[in-house]
Structure 1
Amino acid sequence: MKTSPLLALLGGALLAAQSLAAPTFIHDLDITTFDGTELDANLFVPEGPAPADGYPTVLFTNSWALEKHQYLLQAAELADNGYLVMSYSTRGFGQSGGLVDVAGSHSIADVGVLIDWLEDRYPVGKLGLAGISYGAGVSLLAAAAHPRVDAVAALSGWSDVVEGLYPNETVNLVWGTLLTASALNLDPQVDRIWSDLRSGQNIGGVLEFAAPRSALSFVDQLNTNGTAVLMSNNFADYLFKPNSMIDLYTLLEGPKKLLLNPGTHAITETLGGNDGHIWATGFRWFDHHLKGVDNGIDREPKVDMTVRISNRLEQFEDFPVTGNRSTWYLHPRLSYFNSGGLKSGAYSGWNWENRFHGGADTLAGTGIPLISDALEGFGIPVYTSMLGINGYHAIEYHSPLQWSTLKIRGTPQLDLWIVPSKPEVQLQLHLYDTDLLGLGRLITHAPVTLHNAVVGQAQKISVDFFTTSYDVPAGHLVTLAIDTEGAIYQKPEDTNYRIEVPYRSNRQSKLTIPHL
């Protein structure tokens, strides 16, 4: 049968118009949840009929203090690729009613209502949850509570509320204050919990509040559900550190992937950091686990780790990424004007003590809160002069000169013997990459606060630094700098105390660093 050129042209134009047709976007949806609260949402419906097994579907949950429009670009891209995509404002944020309960039972139940709403109106196939920060935490908890969820992309999320706001029993003052001040419809219970944490009262109540809001409490449910979990966290995220997310990752038995990136909380994901690697990987994760696309992500290494400063992507089969460890023992300094040593051999000299004092901050630190952390994602690290650190209020230990690049990958650990002069003392632990001129770049840090220390008695503390990926260049040193105050943490009410570090053959303080 012959077709006229005009009909062929019209037919081609019609097919092109159909292929370019945009998904339908429903701007405003008011969905009544289980307790009568109205949730504000929007929806992308893909063009064309649903596949036989239903639309692959993604539900986006907003970050703290943001709302349903946060993911418009990502949602539109997924919808263009055939996904049914809903974004909503969690209760208490945006135009949604109710109070912010910090991923409490009501917020998790809301996710189930939204899933039911979608399934009642559209042919929903496999289902994924996604979000940044607050949205990531809610997504993980909802996936544990609702077996209907097939896959999760949790970006800059948490698995342990306590680690976020009370790392090593140290109040995360800057981040906690920012969060509580930026939620206008906060449940009064949350204000009470934050007040208790800051005052050191009712810590048992704080832990009771945190447990059902922490995904680590629901690992068994995630494993039973077989949820495919992708997690992304950032090395300079001093709110939701990578450490507890790594703990969750190691306990998951189903499909899983871990992305560890430079930068601070939520900024790397929001600004398309890692050259777009995070979102691109998240989309591939959903394509495989929701659409069944054989894109190879299930056969790739499970851990993507991007080296700080250089922003070079490395991939590893699992975490920990290396079994290599170097242990350096702490050796004493001679006076307040000297530094101690990090040496490969244990201390075997005369009994010795070094002392430093609370009451003042020093040049050892994490830089300007939030700003320095954000710049780190763009390859601009925290610098300080190690020569200018006050030896009365801090103590430093220098490693031997590194003759080749030391590729730190993982979680450094410090075992430190101390004799405190007060029952409540705080230590701020920092690892620096120090050049021969004494200029240091921050590698990682960790705080620790003792609230019931035995005064005048030697006791050992063991602390994990925040997980990192950092290359110490040849010709540089690793410096351990310890002082008693940090810009983002709440200090003890009484800072007039002394820390003594004893050196004995039977009390070895040591630093352990994982490296390639």
Structure 2
Amino acid sequence: MSSPAWRRTTVFPMLALLLILAFPAATPAAGTATSVPAAQQARAAYRVEKVTEEWTMWDGEKLPLSVFYPADARPGEVFPAILVVHGWGMDKSMGEWVADHYASRGYVALAFTVRGWFGAGGEVGCMGPDTEMKDVSHIITLLGRDPRFPVMKDERGPVVGITGSSMGGCFSYLMAPRRNPRPGDPGDPRIRTAVPMHGSFDLLFSLYPNGVVKFLWVTLLLSTAYLGNLSGFMINVVNVIIDERMDGCQKLQAIMESAGKLVPLISDVDQQLFHIYEVALTRNEEEEGEAKEFFKLRSARYWCDGEYDGKVEHPITVPMLILAGWNDDLFYANEGLMAYRYTDAPKKIIITNHGHLGCYPGPFPFPGITGAPESAWVREQVDRWFDRFLKGVQNGVDREPGVVFYRHTDPEVYGKAATYPLPGTRQWSLYLGGGDGDGRGRLVSRLSAGDAGCDLLVNLGISGSVSLPYIHDAPQLLGGDPLTIPTRITLLHLPFSEVSYTSAPLPREVTVMGPPLFALFYQPSAKLTQLVPWLYEVTPEGEEVLVSRGFYEGHSDDVWMKQGTECPQEMQACYHRFRKGSRIKLVLSVADLPTSWPYPG
């Protein structure tokens, strides 16, 4: 007799929260850096010269790039170099805004277009160790050999830092050197410090969190890859228009040249990207392992911890300043916190309240675009970091707290701590207690005999709610206030599509910092089981505040047999203080369109 079309899920999750009890100050160890003369450290802004051309890569492909360098340097004066990598869907124009800024501060700064993107040779790939990462190392070599550019060198070669937002942050993680690197590791020892901004440290977790395909983001990324020529052209034209170094005729010529690069309109994309997309959406088990290996090889976590067991055999060995955001729903702050733990060198992480859209702190090309209220402060921290670890400026950045994070309880004053996990924290576990049969149960600190019941979930591939990407900070780029639209919208009530569990009122404040963990035990009627946990605060006034969310998809050939997660699964990292008298609420739903790709049982 065949099993029914619906899935009955017996759920016994455990929710674990990390509670903050103290906020000590930090004193990281100081790092080393090549020192520059004191006169260079103190002087006013340099006049900047820009060189734009194409450089031939190791395989013959040509990449457009721009080098910005101090034009009024004294004879024999040399400067550290900074590579700026643009985001997905962009071109070097985005990096030029940053490169110009750093050249005026006494650096040789280079912005290049990643292969396959607008105007560059090759195919749009995905940060391949043997392609895009190899390009970066080749660019460092060519920059160091070019007599036009006064690049500082030592026994290891050019003294280089790297930074970038989104994809540029991924590059920064991957290119940072690691201890005793394994064969194929893309890290380059000539890079002395890295500043990844909202990048992925683990692409497998970013796009395949706990086995669930992050459908909305994966689809947007793939679509943008094919439209990369168009998006790159648009930002390139904007960059030409605002370039004060060009007169009208030069701008017209540059725009015409850019228009010529729009043929073909659709970018040349590595066919493997669409194949992996197809494998993920069809849940092709025969090729799923290959798809996940593709993401691992493009993740800095893999090169630090090849077994994904938390044992960091090859930690990052250069100073790292990591920027992340609590609301970044593409690259969760979890990844920045993991990168922090995987770095054995001076390190610092700054976690703002931004989503992925607000990941770039500037500088911005237009006077009217100021960024979020803290953007100028974040830029200052990045400037000081490069000055300390590329120029050797004794500015005290290595003696400041290593963990700095936004707190909704005091938005103007960021929290600070010495390390992560924060000193003085402990884990607190809650369990699912018995309910009243209507999809509502209790969260309890310990289980009793009456709490060992089961809850029924029916998976139709949809639930009565939809979730939206975090775009609330978009107006802040123009100096406005963030949007107040909800992240999750309930449209209707579908019976058996979700269950909820609520704690008793809290006798005191409870503060959570980091990723909540959940463990699941269930009995499925089908091969695959998808469950989406949501964590809320229910205030004494009855308002429900979304605190964190997560994903889980389990695979089993044995239907109706008790299954479980092999280890606790991470939800989205957060900072949240539950008020005294509030209740903690956990909701488990069977789907989360359009964020995740559902499994219709």
Shorter chain as denominator, the TM-score bin is 0.7 to 0.9
How far, CA to CA, are the matches of 1:379 and 1:20 in structure 2? 37
Structure 1: runs of 5+ lacking an equivalent:
1-17, 496-516
Preserved contact between residue 384 and residue 439 of structure 1 (Cα < 8 Å): no
Q: How does 1:245-256 map to 2 (within 5 A)?
A: 245-256=336-347
How far, CA to CA, are the matches of 1:219 and 1:350 in structure 2? 42
How far, CA to CA, are the matches of 2:145 and 2:456 in structure 1? 68
| CA displacement 1:292-331 (0-9 Å, x = unmatched) | 1111111111111112475341111111115223222211
1:23 aligned partner: 48
Q: How does 1:305-324 map to 2 (within 5 A)?
A: 305-308=405-408, 310-311=410-411, 312-322=413-423, 323-324=425-426
How far, CA to CA, are the matches of 1:387 and 1:489 in structure 2? 16
Aligned match for 2:385, one of 276, 282, 285: 285
* 51 and 147 in structure 1: CA distance in 2 versus 1, 3 angstrom threshold: farther
Q: What letter corresponds to residue 272 of structure 2 in structure 1? A: Q
Q: How does 1:144-163 map to 2 (within 5 A)?
A: 144=177, 145-163=187-205
Q: What letter corresponds to residue 256 of structure 1 in structure 2? A: K
TM-score normalised by the chain length of structure 1 = 0.84
Q: What letter corresponds to residue 124 of structure 1 in structure 2? A: V
How far, CA to CA, are the matches of 2:400 and 2:571 in structure 1? 28
The DSSP-based 3-state class of the residue aligned with 1:281 is: helix
1:195 aligned partner: 278
Which range is displaced more, 386-395 or 458-467? 386-395
- Would you say 1:45 and 2:136 are equivalent positions? no
Aligned match for 1:412, one of 497, 516, 527: 516
How far, CA to CA, are the matches of 1:36 and 1:255 in structure 2? 38
Higher RCO (C-alpha under 8 Å, 6+ residues apart): 2
2:531 aligned partner: 427
The DSSP-based 3-state class of the residue aligned with 1:371 is: coil
Which range is displaced more, 475-484 or 285-294? 475-484
Q: Note the C-alpha offset of 1:179.
A: 0.7
| CA displacement 1:60-83 (0-9 Å, x = unmatched) | 011001011113333222222111
Which range is displaced more, 106-115 or 351-360? 351-360
Aligned match for 1:238, one of 319, 329, 348: 329
| CA displacement 1:17-66 (0-9 Å, x = unmatched) | x967621123x211111111111111211133369773021110110010
Preserved contact between residue 261 and residue 306 of structure 1 (Cα < 8 Å): yes
How far, CA to CA, are the matches of 1:87 and 1:245 in structure 2? 24
Q: Note the C-alpha offset of 1:158.
A: 0.9
How far, CA to CA, are the matches of 2:461 and 2:317 in structure 1? 50
How far, CA to CA, are the matches of 1:373 and 1:361 in structure 2? 28
How far, CA to CA, are the matches of 2:431 and 2:593 in structure 1? 28
Preserved contact between residue 269 and residue 279 of structure 1 (Cα < 8 Å): no
TM-score normalised by the chain length of structure 2 = 0.73
2:244 aligned partner: none
How far, CA to CA, are the matches of 1:67 and 1:309 in structure 2? 38
Preserved contact between residue 461 and residue 599 of structure 2 (Cα < 8 Å): no
Structure 2: runs of 5+ lacking an equivalent:
1-42, 153-158, 178-186, 226-266, 306-311, 363-370
The DSSP-based 3-state class of the residue aligned with 1:71 is: helix
* 224 and 252 in structure 1: CA distance in 2 versus 1, 3 angstrom threshold: closer
- Would you say 1:275 and 2:374 are equivalent positions? yes
How far, CA to CA, are the matches of 2:69 and 2:414 in structure 1? 35
Q: What letter corresponds to residue 326 of structure 1 in structure 2? A: W
1:214 aligned partner: 299
Preserved contact between residue 385 and residue 438 of structure 1 (Cα < 8 Å): no
The DSSP-based 3-state class of the residue aligned with 2:550 is: strand
2:434 aligned partner: 332
Question: How many residues are aligned here?
Answer: 475
How far, CA to CA, are the matches of 1:102 and 1:292 in structure 2? 34
Preserved contact between residue 171 and residue 198 of structure 1 (Cα < 8 Å): yes
Q: What letter corresponds to residue 298 of structure 1 in structure 2? A: D
Preserved contact between residue 261 and residue 274 of structure 1 (Cα < 8 Å): no
- Would you say 1:97 and 2:188 are equivalent positions? no
1:123 aligned partner: 150
How far, CA to CA, are the matches of 1:185 and 1:441 in structure 2? 44
- Would you say 1:62 and 2:161 are equivalent positions? no
* 150 and 354 in structure 1: CA distance in 2 versus 1, 3 angstrom threshold: same
Which range is displaced more, 50-59 or 402-411? 50-59
Q: What letter corresponds to residue 122 of structure 2 in structure 1? A: G
2:455 aligned partner: 354
Preserved contact between residue 23 and residue 79 of structure 1 (Cα < 8 Å): yes
Preserved contact between residue 269 and residue 278 of structure 1 (Cα < 8 Å): no
| CA displacement 1:174-197 (0-9 Å, x = unmatched) | 111111111122211221122112
1:261 aligned partner: 352
1:4 aligned partner: none
Q: Note the C-alpha offset of 1:406.
A: 2.3
Which protein is richer in strand relative to its size? 1
How far, CA to CA, are the matches of 1:85 and 1:479 in structure 2? 49
Identity %: 24
Preserved contact between residue 156 and residue 240 of structure 1 (Cα < 8 Å): yes
Q: What letter corresponds to residue 205 of structure 1 in structure 2? A: E
How far, CA to CA, are the matches of 2:528 and 2:328 in structure 1? 26
Q: How does 1:456-475 map to 2 (within 5 A)?
A: 456-461=560-565, 462-475=568-581
The DSSP-based 3-state class of the residue aligned with 1:94 is: coil
How far, CA to CA, are the matches of 1:385 and 1:217 in structure 2? 36
How far, CA to CA, are the matches of 1:53 and 1:348 in structure 2? 76
* 77 and 422 in structure 1: CA distance in 2 versus 1, 3 angstrom threshold: same
1:164 aligned partner: 206
Q: What letter corresponds to residue 497 of structure 2 in structure 1? A: H
How far, CA to CA, are the matches of 1:78 and 1:191 in structure 2? 37
| CA displacement 1:411-434 (0-9 Å, x = unmatched) | 111123222222212101000122
Preserved contact between residue 180 and residue 186 of structure 1 (Cα < 8 Å): no
Which range is displaced more, 472-481 or 61-70? 472-481
Preserved contact between residue 329 and residue 347 of structure 1 (Cα < 8 Å): no
1:299 aligned partner: 399
How far, CA to CA, are the matches of 1:198 and 1:357 in structure 2? 21
2:264 aligned partner: none
